Amino acid sequence: MSEKEINRKVVILGSGPAGLTAAIYASRAQLEPLVIDGPQPGGQLTITTDVENYPGFSKGIMGPEMMNEFRAQAERFGTEILNVWIDKVDLSERPFKLYGKESAESEEISTIIKAETLIISTGASAKWLGVPGEEPVPEGLGGNGVSACATCDGFFFRGKPVVIVGGGDTAMEEAMFLTRFASKVTLMHRRDSFRASKIMQERVFNNEKIEIMWNTGIREILGTKEEGVTGVKIFNTQSNEESLFPTQGVFVAIGHKPNTDLFKGVLEMDETGYLKTEGRTMKTNVEGVFACGDAQDSYYRQAVTAAGTGCMAAIDAERFLVEHGEAVKNTETNW
């Protein structure tokens, strides 16, 4: 089979808030960007229910609906969105090459995309426990009482008891956040000490609404479609003794993994795989390659901050093309 070849000035890999904001900016700068959908078109917000903290939506908006709006806005200005599975990339020289397959399972490369600039917005994925009951609805209770984002979903647990799992800074921060809404927060950790920073641990220890259960693992999340979560089957990680613990919400805070494996050994990353960007810009260590959103941000990880860095990456890409004589300088009002 002969491969289809596509040539673009700006290629954006990933279609969450960062990638689609970059696309809105790049298309309004008449750069005709190509957005490549990842395995989860629309990104992590497509697995969230109501989004109530994104400015501009005073009544809130459903995550998938918001991402449809982002998409329509990008397409309105001429963004093309392509659904291919990128199998490998060659960033050794410009134009950069991205090799796409029909799906992850396909054997053959079907599309070669040549990009003068590349914006990486591949996001991050929450790590999950991998226990029964955790799967997204309709199969499990994910999104119906089980969440990996307290900032997004904590509000829905007003007056209810919740469990949070993890022992790092995210678990501490989210446990504290959840005390604003929940009647009680039980923090379950698989060991007898936290890896979180001392100051965060102190805050948790001093908060009367948080109860800590050491050496505790979750074996199963229990509940029904109608009632949501009703409890968890827990076990003692030392004795393996099992018991049932009633709760109405389970927050998993055991870390995130940036989706950056494609770029290992080519782009500079920190020790956990987040792409490094230069100073206040979105430039990576390869000229003409930019990174934005959760693929380069382990700290804020919000839809609105991802969108902000997507805008920055598009402006950086446009300026790079202008400097290289490959685009006409944009006027401020065009953005």
Q: Output 212 or 254, the one with its CB closest to ligand NDP.
A: 254
Q: Which entry of 37, 152, 292, 297 is annotated as an active-site residue? A: 152
- Residue 149 is among the residues annotated as catalytic for this protein: yes
Residue 327 vs residues 8, 93, 192, 269, 286: alpha-carbon distances, Å: 12, 19, 58, 29, 19
Question: Site residues for ligand NDP, window 219-258 (CB under 6 A)?
Answer: 254-256
Q: Is 223 left (phi over 0), alpha (psi -120 to 50) or beta?
A: left
Give the CA count within 13 Å in the CB-facing half-sphere of 286.
24
- Closest CB 130 distance from ligand NDP, rounded Å: 7
Q: Output 70 or 251, the one with its CB closest to ligand NDP.
A: 251
Q: Which entry of 50, 87, 149, 270 is annotated as an active-site residue? A: 149
Are 33 and 137 spatial neighbours (Cβ–Cβ below 8 Å)? no
- Residue 311 is among the residues annotated as catalytic for this protein: no
Question: Site residues for ligand NDP, window 183-202 (CB under 6 A)?
Answer: 190-191, 195
Question: Site residues for ligand NDP, window 145-184 (CB under 6 A)?
Answer: 165-171, 173
Q: Which entry of 37, 90, 153, 311 is annotated as an active-site residue? A: 153
- Closest CB 152 distance from ligand NDP, rounded Å: 15
- Closest CB 172 distance from ligand NDP, rounded Å: 8
Q: Output 116 or 134, the one with its CB closest to ligand NDP.
A: 134
Are 142 and 49 spatial neighbours (Cβ–Cβ below 8 Å)? no
Question: Site residues for ligand NDP, window 271-310 (CB under 6 A)?
Answer: 298
Nearest to 253 by CA among 208, 278, 294, 218: 218
Helix residue ranges, H only, 206-290 = none
Are 35 and 7 spatial neighbours (Cβ–Cβ below 8 Å)? no
- Closest CB 189 distance from ligand NDP, rounded Å: 6
Nearest to 250 by CA among 220, 291, 280: 220
Q: Distance between CA 249 and CA 325 in Å, rounded?
A: 55
* Radius of gyration over every alpha carbon of the chain, rounded to an integer in angstroms: 22
Q: Output 251 or 290, the one with its CB closest to ligand NDP.
A: 251
- Closest CB 151 distance from ligand NDP, rounded Å: 11
- Residue 152 is among the residues annotated as catalytic for this protein: yes
Residue 94 binds ligand NDP, judged by CB under 6 A? no
The count of residues interacting with ligand NDP (CB under 6 A) is 16
Residue type, 330: N
- Closest CB 173 distance from ligand NDP, rounded Å: 5
Q: Please count the other Cβ atoms lying within 10 Å of the Cβ belonging to residue 118.
A: 27
Q: Output 63 or 166, the one with its CB closest to ligand NDP.
A: 166
Q: Output 170 or 247, the one with its CB closest to ligand NDP.
A: 170
Q: Which helix (H) or strand (E) holds 101?
A: strand 96-101
Residue number closest to ligand NDP, CB atom: 168
Residue 322 exposed, middle or buried by CB count within 10 Å (0-12, 13-18, 19+): middle
Which residues are catalytically annotated?
149, 152-153
For ligand NDP, the binding residues (CB under 6 A) are 129, 165-171, 173, 190-191, 195, 254-256, 298
